[in-house]
């Protein structure tokens, strides 16, 4: 049982929502973030039966909104023990020559700059306390490039590099930094990638048993509950049916 405060970005669906549910059951105090206020409130109402929950609704792309929202935290919620940088998505799956510039902007702005903005807003208290833990959700797409993944892969390679850089820079402050890099997880990810085309999204997971949000939540829980002297640095997790970004066994 824990009374640590954990801030989760992208808590309104998929990996973030599953993590919120699992951590609530372990009594972590949760700051849940996302843009969809109704979903955030519904989840907060449900999890409030188990633990203390605070919600912040902001778009991670909007730096001043990020700063204002984090600064608005009541006194009792200011000491964040664990930051889970999870908010992100792929937008489109096109060759570089056919890529949509708005999709590119979205992926760089959300997956890379958004992660940085949230981290910048949360870090000062961790640095001051010489204590804290940042968990960045990367991807197998941040370890290997695949055809038509170009800018999404670049954004996740950036997350991997930023994670490694954070670990070096925050070493003197005793702050743990963990990168978790999943393969195929069936969430709203592919629905977002294919702009609401649920049928096309389903084909991504056809003929295999993908991971689920809870599988990643289990790893996050493991990483953040190690003893003080143990830091999980980097984890890659794939469905058993997936051997690499591109090699997948389907029935």
Interface residue with ligand 8X3 among 140, 162, 192, 248 (CB under 6 A) is: 140
Are the beta carbons of 46 and 100 closer than 8 angstroms?
no
HEC string of 177-195 equals EEEEEECCECCCHHHHHCC
Q: Are 42 and 17 in contact (CB under 8 A)?
A: no
26 tagged catalytic: no
Q: Is 60 in the site for ligand NDP (CB under 6 A)?
A: yes
Segment lying near ligand NDP (by CB under 6 A), choices 67-75, 85-93, 123-131, 164-172: 85-93
**Structural contact between residues 181 and 139, judged by C-beta atoms closer than 8 angstroms:** yes
Strand partners, 32: 8, 55
Residue corresponding to tokens 């003893």 = 227
Q: Shortest distance, CB of residue 107 to ligand 8X3, whole angstroms?
A: 11
> Would you count residue 35 as binding ligand NDP (CB under 6 A)?
yes
Catalytic residue from among 26, 117, 146, 152: 152
- Asked if 31 touches ligand NDP (CB under 6 A), the answer is no
Closest CA to 136 of 165, 109, 106: 165
| Residue 245 binding: pick among ligand 8X3, ligand NDP, none (C-beta 5-8 Å cut-off by kind) | ligand 8X3
Q: Is the alpha carbon torsion for 132, 8, 205, 61 positive or negative? A: negative
- Asked if 180 and 237 touch (Cβ cutoff 8 Å), the reply is yes
162 contributes a contact to ligand NDP by CB under 6 A:
no
* 141 binds ligand 8X3, rule: CB under 6 A: yes
Using the rule CB under 6 A, which residue among 31, 32, 44, 88 binds ligand NDP? 88
Q: Interface residues for ligand 8X3 in 16-45 (CB under 6 A)? A: none
Among 55, 111, 136, 139, binds ligand 8X3 (CB under 6 A): 139
Active site residues: 152
């Amino acid at each position: 049982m824990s009374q640590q405060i954990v801030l989760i970005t992208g808590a309104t669906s998929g990996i973030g929502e599953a993590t919120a549910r699992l951590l609530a059951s372990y009594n972590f105090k949760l700051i849940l973030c996302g843009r969809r206020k109704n979903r955030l409130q519904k989840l907060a109402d449900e999890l409030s039966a188990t633990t203390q929950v605070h919600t912040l609704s902001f778009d991670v792309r909007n730096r001043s909104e990020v700063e204002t929202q984090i600064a608005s935290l009541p006194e009792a919620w200011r000491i964040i023990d664990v930051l889970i940088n999870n908010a992100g998505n792929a937008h489109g799956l096109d060759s570089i020559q056919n890529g949509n510039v708005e999709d590119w902007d979205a992926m760089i702005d959300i997956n890379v700059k958004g992660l940085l903005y949230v981290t910048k807003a949360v870090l000062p208290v961790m640095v001051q306390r010489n204590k804290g833990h940042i968990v960045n959700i990367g991807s197998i797409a941040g370890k290997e490039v695949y055809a038509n993944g170009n800018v999404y892969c670049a954004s996740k390679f950036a997350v991997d590099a930023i994670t490694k850089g954070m670990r070096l820079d925050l070493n003197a402050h005793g702050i743990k930094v963990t990168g978790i890099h999943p393969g195929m997880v069936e969430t709203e990810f592919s629905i977002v990638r294919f702009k609401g085309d649920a049928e096309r999204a389903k084909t991504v997971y056809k003929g295999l048993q993908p991971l689920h949000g809870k599988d990643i939540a289990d790893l996050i829980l493991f990483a953040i509950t190690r003893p003080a002297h143990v830091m999980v640095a980097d984890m890659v997790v794939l469905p058993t049916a997936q051997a690499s970004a591109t090699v997948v066994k389907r029935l």
